[in-house]
Structure 1
């Protein structure tokens, strides 16, 4: 599989799973179908819009073409009609969020590198791409953003983006570098929830 095709698939996957996570949060907050679609679309495309604006790639891809918002809307409709099926998975929002986090961290980092940003800046943009949609989703749903209270969240995105940039620097081919970095980020996020991993907190907390 070529790197271009891989990242096209990853981008679609990231938008879809983040759209699903936004829609599931909306459903749990008892939003109507319009609110579900709004939260699905906002969650699916916000990270990419932030990345593109900071890169100067304006108008952002999500506003230049129809398909990013369409994919997120389809995800919202899937959540609306198949809520009970999705709820069979243990903690579906967390699982979808982890997948979207890993995918967007690497895709965002890659786009920044392609546009000539140095690796440290590209890694930062990868993290912002990964967490942007989730932050907006939580704010719109009147929740504290997960990035502020779930320790291995932005850190997992950082690990994925850093791994991808490092692999390219070491001369590893783009496809295995991207695949491994996404799996690392997703696995780290899921493992942190499963085993209760946290970062140090102040002694008084």
Structure 2
């Protein structure tokens, strides 16, 4: 478990927060928000999942308020998007790759932290998913959009996080929660997300679905 408090993983954590914050600030630009709106969506997207997890498990004050780097990183993303958003939009594919890496890291780290605070394996996996995807849900709600997590017309996002969190929970159950095994679980979620982006994989809808609502493009 010490692996996840190492300087390397802390740095990767900040990278994940930064990339998530970029996506929040970019959405704010598309919605024509002012600079304060950019900062709010960047902070919420980058820190929302971890903040929710820490409050639920009683890890207070949350890491978002005890580590200045966590708070400042989304503000750095805000400044970059504010001045360079056309450039960031052009490298959106690279941003998505880093976003997938953040998803993998956060679903594993979230599951581990929840279990360390005494939650069951199932509850820990759920909070692992919340850590990885919660910020994006809050971002979309604040921007008055249907969360991407719930939309069929978007590539799978929750499924890779669920797989990574579940793999982590099973490794804990089998007493195989080594740094290498945890890294493998994170890579599994990362690769699944990349494959979903590459091949446009989507989660299945209801069997024999009958709906008068047209599919969104």
Q: In which range does the TM-score fall when normalised by the shorter chain?
A: 0.7 to 0.9
Deviations 1:111-154 (A, max 9, x none): 11222222211111100111110001111112110110146221
Please list, as runs of the form range in 1=range in 2, the aligned pairs for 1:24-43 lying within 5 A after superposition.
24-43=26-45
Distance in 1 (CA, whole Å) between partners of 2:17 and 2:186 is: 15
Q: Describe the SS at the equivalent of 1:87.
A: helix
| 1:176 match | 180
| 2:214 match | none
Q: Point out where structure 1 has 5 or more consecutive residues left out of the alignment.
A: none
Larger radius of gyration between Structure 1 and Structure 2: 2
Distance in 2 (CA, whole Å) between partners of 1:19 and 1:43 is: 5
Residue of structure 1 aligned with 2:125, choices 103, 123, 126:
123
Q: What CA RMSD, in Å, does the superposition of the two structures yield over aligned residues? A: 2.2
| Displacement of 1:92 | 5.8
Residue of structure 2 aligned with 1:61, choices 57, 60, 63:
63
**Equivalent pair of 1:25/1:93 in contact (CA under 8 Å):** no
Q: CA 1:192–1:31 in 2, change beyond 3 Å: closer, same or farther?
A: same
1:197 lines up with 2:201 in the alignment? yes
**Equivalent pair of 1:21/1:96 in contact (CA under 8 Å):** no
Q: Describe the SS at the equivalent of 1:117.
A: coil
Q: How many residues align?
A: 204
Deviations 1:20-59 (A, max 9, x none): 1111111222222221111101111111111011101122
| 1:113 match | 115
**Equivalent pair of 1:22/1:40 in contact (CA under 8 Å):** yes
Structure 2 length-normalised TM: 0.83
Q: Describe the SS at the equivalent of 1:14.
A: helix
